[in-house]
Amino acid sequence: MEPIIALRGVTKSWGGGRAAALAEVDLEVSEGQFVCLCGPSGCGKTTVLNLVAGLEFPTAGEVRVRGEAVRGPSPERTVMFQESALFPWLTVRRNVEFPLEVAGVPRAERDARVERYLKMVHLWRSRDSRPHELSGGMRQRAAMARALVSEPQMLLMDEPFAALDAQTRDVLHAELERIWLETRKTVVFVTHNVREAARLGDRVVIFGTRPGRVKRDLTVALPRPRGANDREVATLAAVVERELEIEIEKVIREELDDAWTPAGGAVPGGARSDLGGGI
């Protein structure tokens, strides 16, 4: 089957090619898949999401959605951010209605859809509240309803739960999984939290850094719904964690100076500190 998202040889660099956020990334996502992009900060996972969203454009290579090159943002590819990005001057209901109004959906259908999705995220009772009256978790629920209401081809999520406390996050994981099972949307979910990736994804794509590239691509065949504390999830998270440690150490090594030694010894010392022992 043709992939819904296809990145081919995508390179993205900043400042005239000095720093490469992404180097020659190939990635395909098939319809209905829940893909988690996981990696240390600066690995370009968010850049991948922005490229698919059409908020940024590749320096080289191409990004295609259903075979068509991405030329800009589209309501078919809605994005959820770490902050809810709800409009503070609108009530929850009007916020969720906003994408439908922009698309010119008739009044009656708008009302029905807003109700359906607000109920799906359990916010129907708070429909007339303003965003600043809600808790962080409720704001993200509202943002989720707003992202789903236009019934897009895919949902792009950029660390949507990273700013929430652990309990709220667990609840929202379960909610997201339930909604995903209900709607079977294609989801691209960016996170640096390995447990979250293992908990949610059908597939976990691990990114390496400097330059950003795909390091490993794991298929997760665990049954759903999954629990936050399932042993299989924990085992998988440990595997992902191990992969990431190496990358994270690389980042820290670069950010700090040579005197820092990794505790786990996962990375052999750099050429400067091992006295050329590898010759």
Partner 1 sequence: MLFLAVLGAIWAAASKGGDAFLLPGPDDVLRALVTATRSGLLPRAVLRSLGRLCLGYSVSLAGGVVLGVCLARVRVVKDTVGVLVLGLQAVPSVCWLPLALLWFGLGEAAIQVVIVLGSLLSITLATESAVNTIPPLLLRAARTMGARGLVLWTRVILPAALPGIVSGARLGWTFAWRSLLAGELLFISGGLGQVLEIGRELHDMALVLGVMAVIVALGLATDRLVFGLVEDRVRRAWGLDRS
79 binds partner 1 (CB under 8 A): yes
Of 138-197, binders to partner 1 (CB under 8 A) are 146, 150
3-state secondary structure of 154: strand
The helix or strand, by DSSP H or E, that contains position 109, with its residue range, turns out to be helix 107-120
Neighbours of 182 (CB within 10 A): 10
Q: Which two tokens stand for residue 165?
A: 């406390």
Selected from 20, 30, 55, 203, the binder of partner 1 by CB under 8 A is 55
73 binds partner 1 (CB under 8 A): yes
Answer positive or negative: Cα dihedral of 70, 73, 78, 83: positive
Minimum distance of partner 1 from residue 89's CB (angstroms): 5
85 binds partner 1 (CB under 8 A): yes
Selected from 58, 131, 137, 201, the binder of partner 1 by CB under 8 A is 131
User: Contact region for partner 1 (CB under 8 A) — 130-138, 195-203, 233-241, 256-264?
Assistant: 130-138
135 binds partner 1 (CB under 8 A): no
Residue with smaller CB distance to partner 1, 77 or 192:
77
225 binds partner 1 (CB under 8 A): no
- The site that binds partner 1 (CB under 8 A) totals a number of residues, namely 27
Tokens 């090159």 locate to 69
8 Å CB contact between 61 and 11: yes
DSSP state of 70: P
Listing DSSP states for 32-49 in one string gives T-EEEEE--TTSSHHHHH
Residue with smaller CB distance to partner 1, 22 or 79:
79
CA dist., res. 41 & res. 257, Å (int)? 18
113 binds partner 1 (CB under 8 A): no
130 binds partner 1 (CB under 8 A): yes
Minimum distance of partner 1 from residue 269's CB (angstroms): 41
45 binds partner 1 (CB under 8 A): no
74 binds partner 1 (CB under 8 A): yes
CA dist., res. 117 & res. 125, Å (int)? 12
Tokens 């990004």 locate to 63
CA dist., res. 62 & res. 201, Å (int)? 25
Helices 107-120 & 92-103 angle (0-180, nearest 10): 130
Minimum distance of partner 1 from residue 102's CB (angstroms): 5
Minimum distance of partner 1 from residue 248's CB (angstroms): 26
> Omega before 268 cis (within 30°)?
no
Chain positions contacting partner 1, by CB under 8 A: 53-55, 72-75, 77-79, 81, 83, 85, 87-89, 98-99, 101-103, 130-133, 146, 150
